[in-house]
Chain A
């Protein structure tokens, strides 16, 4: 029995939401790190020859924070302003694969209606066939962004020095895609 020929990335892929996460981390109180994720993410992955395109959308209100006051502050115009700009969006402009599954993804990130270039790095793994015979690829990438570039400027000086909230936010997505039937 011969092994199947290595599958290519060619084609369009659908997000397996159950096995995908989008999260961020930001320093607060100078030394602590706050992390949370978004419960609802959508993404597309498509390869056409050497061209790979990745897009993603996250409704800001799907942030995994239930405490009403904390949540209310994040949804307000001081943070995500969901009434006017409900979604966080990403669109790749260039996806370059390196050795050992490494990948660099350049693209445009839109937060609060403001679009800025961003570069994410990580891994692009696959395709591999799962137990059901479906081809899967995994994309795990991270990017550091300056939140002030997106008009997310809230801060306050701490009583003993330093700022309440860091400017650098580390975004991380772990996405699993399944090949769509032609």
Chain B
């Protein structure tokens, strides 16, 4: 089974990218997580360019990566209680065309980290809402990682056993949802 991890942060030392790396360490046997690293290359959504022959390489790379994956795990920061623009923009591209977009029917889960006290909990809810609207099969649980700047050790591991356990349970729920959908995955 292949899970595509998409971090909604472009920052080099992103806490959300670190959270996806930590999630990759907690996957059951036979499951791998690929980190999508092309978010920066997805241009602003423009319906005039939303025809196959005009799709930018960044859009094609995003859609291809989602299509090849059995499931998607999104780690979102929170900007002003909501989804970072680059992430929403990528999801908007991926949502087209509506009827058979690459996320339709795809199991998806959302996690999030913030340096404040609430762990991007509102952004996570909004990403779940958007994924649901797009037609993904959204795992209805949240994983707020608060005060993210203090949660990782120098090797990128989550310091708290409790939080590692919550993250493991979260990805396990995504794996279970994916197996129900695609038994062979």
Contacts and interface: CB of A to CB of B under 8 A. Distances in A.
A69 B120 CA distance: 14
B36 interface: no
B122 A156 contact: yes
Interface string B118-144: 110110110000000000000000101
B81 interface: yes
Interface residues of B, number: 15
A28 interface: yes
Interface residues of A, number: 14
A164 interface: yes
Given A29-B144, A67-B147, A67-B149, A158 B121 contact: yes
A159 B142 contact: yes
Nearest to B123: A159
Given A29-B144, A67-B147, A67-B149, A159 B122 contact: yes
Contacts of B101: none
Contacts of A158: 121
Contacts of B149: 67
9 closest A-B pairs by CB: A159-B125, A67-B115, A70-B116, A28-B117, A34-B117, A164-B118, A67-B149, A70-B115, A159-B121
Interface of A: 28-29, 32, 34, 67, 69-70, 73, 156, 158-160, 164-165
Given A28-B117, A70-B115, 17 more contacts: A28-B118, A29-B118, A29-B146, A34-B117, A67-B116, A67-B147, A70-B117, A156-B118, A156-B122, A158-B121, A159-B121, A159-B122, A159-B125, A159-B142, A160-B125, A160-B142, A164-B118
